[in-house]
Structure 1
């Protein structure tokens, strides 16, 4: 064989590879954008510090006013007296038992009122005739003082499940009305476009109305968690044998204000934690549907 035949041809890059653009360096944020980010971080830190300072000032003022007898410590207790009570209730197991009872009832009431409330609101959106028939009844039911239902729920559901009934009764009507208004405010052009493309009414509800009502449903979530907790506490005040509401009533009856105030502080912490969970859900849904 000749040398020409044994020679290996040089490697050549394919045309497609040659046409690929060179890797561009990562963009560096502009000075104005970097200043804006720094300003946002400072503002976030300042807001958090202000919240903590306000909370510390509240507890400090409460402690000083009670210790100096400006307010009667027998009627208000004071923060330094709450910690031993908290530890005592925690050690004997009462605090965890009552807290879990209230938390469980709140979550159950919250879930039931959201599920049934959104389902009923969707039914009202689906049938304008049903909405016209039921609208005045829903308004009246929402305006009624729900505490009037406590004896009825106690007879119908018993001491335990009447608490769930109160949570649902207080939260569900607001959920229906808020969710329905969100469904009604969906962009009619989007609904018309989906209908023109052949979507059924169920598909319009699932693909257009529900995603378009996410901000309204988030607002319903925020209201509903608080209303469910209010319903649970009202139910526990009247008929329960456990829960933070029961602990508050029982402590007030024997004039142990330390127990009452400790239960209220735990209730506030529970409310804050549930709000943080709802805020995380809001952040996730806003990123997905925003």
Structure 2
């Protein structure tokens, strides 16, 4: 009887979670539809300048034309490649550096003030230096996407490593485990949620870095289209590029959420 009651409570809990997700999704959809509807209405009623802010209808028509002729697809794929490369490189290097800092307390103490200084520096301002050093091409833009997320990844993940309960390491060492074995068996797995949270932050940072890099040097990509749109006063093109960036950033975020769910399911 008790098992049956527990099962019913669990089923009720699952139904509550599904209902909450459904309510959240409906609200999100309503906000999105309301935003585009208000934007269209404001443009048609001249509450906002239609030349400057365009409208969803104009953006849709432009995207239809550009996607049909393939020009927008090529620009989107270039930016997506650069962003994914910068995102992956920046995240992996940040985790590696954080691991090295944890492995050597002396190295960590030496590096700590420099990490704080580097984190405070505006990475975007390093763009011209990176472009001169690496050349005006994909490598420089990918480096921009990576550099803007490396430091924050390092700091957040290393802080997570340090905050793991030291008793875990003591127990493992009492059984003869080395420092590397402690890291592999306890420290690193305990920080998987922290790393996933960092991935979510890096989604936005990598897009910022790549778009700024394209602003400065590229003749291709969505960042280039934004700059070109401003130059020729084609603000519909600017809005179209911004909407595509928002769509793909949201998709990347959803992929990270799926990875988070998979890790939680298989590590708990």
Tell me the equivalent position of 1:106.
83
Tell me the equivalent position of 1:187.
165
Give the gaps of 5 or more residues in structure 2: none
The C-alpha deviation readout for 1:168-219, integer Å capped at 9, x for no partner, is 1100000000010011011111100111111111111111110011111111
Q: Distance in 1 between matches of 2:17 and 2:70?
A: 44
CA shift for structure 1 position 271: 0.6
Q: In angstroms, what is the RMSD of aligned CA positions?
A: 1.6
Tell me the equivalent position of 1:12.
none
Q: Distance in 2 between matches of 1:45 and 1:54?
A: 14
Q: Distance in 1 between matches of 2:114 and 2:219?
A: 33
CA shift for structure 1 position 31: 5.0
Tell me the equivalent position of 2:210.
232
Tell me the equivalent position of 1:42.
19
CA shift for structure 1 position 38: 3.4
Higher percent of residues as helix: 2
Q: Distance in 1 between matches of 2:228 and 2:174?
A: 62
Tell me the equivalent position of 2:32.
55
| SS at structure 2 position matched to 1:159 | coil
The C-alpha deviation readout for 1:91-126, integer Å capped at 9, x for no partner, is 222211111111111111111111111111111111
- Using the size of structure 1 for normalisation, the TM-score is 0.87
Provide closer, same or farther for how the CA distance between residues 244 and 133 of structure 1 changes in structure 2, counting only shifts above 3 A: same
Provide closer, same or farther for how the CA distance between residues 32 and 217 of structure 1 changes in structure 2, counting only shifts above 3 A: closer
- Using the size of structure 2 for normalisation, the TM-score is 0.94
Aligned match for 1:178, one of 148, 156, 181: 156
| SS at structure 1 position matched to 2:135 | helix
Q: Distance in 2 between matches of 1:110 and 1:33?
A: 38
* Alignment of structure 1 residues 122-271 onto 2, 5 Å: 122-160=99-137, 161-271=139-249
Tell me the equivalent position of 1:16.
none
Does 2:93 match 1:116?
A: yes
Q: Distance in 1 between matches of 2:241 and 2:95?
A: 33
Q: Distance in 1 between matches of 2:123 and 2:248?
A: 23
**Further displaced range: 70-79 or 46-55:** 46-55
CA shift for structure 1 position 27: 5.3
CA shift for structure 1 position 246: 0.8
Q: Distance in 2 between matches of 1:69 and 1:248?
A: 24
Tell me the equivalent position of 1:83.
60
Decide whether the 8 Å contact of 1:150 with 1:238 is kept in 2: yes
Decide whether the 8 Å contact of 1:106 with 1:232 is kept in 2: yes
**Further displaced range: 59-68 or 140-149:** 140-149
Q: Distance in 2 between matches of 1:223 and 1:38?
A: 30
**Further displaced range: 211-220 or 269-278:** 211-220
The C-alpha deviation readout for 1:125-160, integer Å capped at 9, x for no partner, is 111111111111111111111122111111111222
CA shift for structure 1 position 35: 4.0
Q: Distance in 2 between matches of 1:269 and 1:287?
A: 27
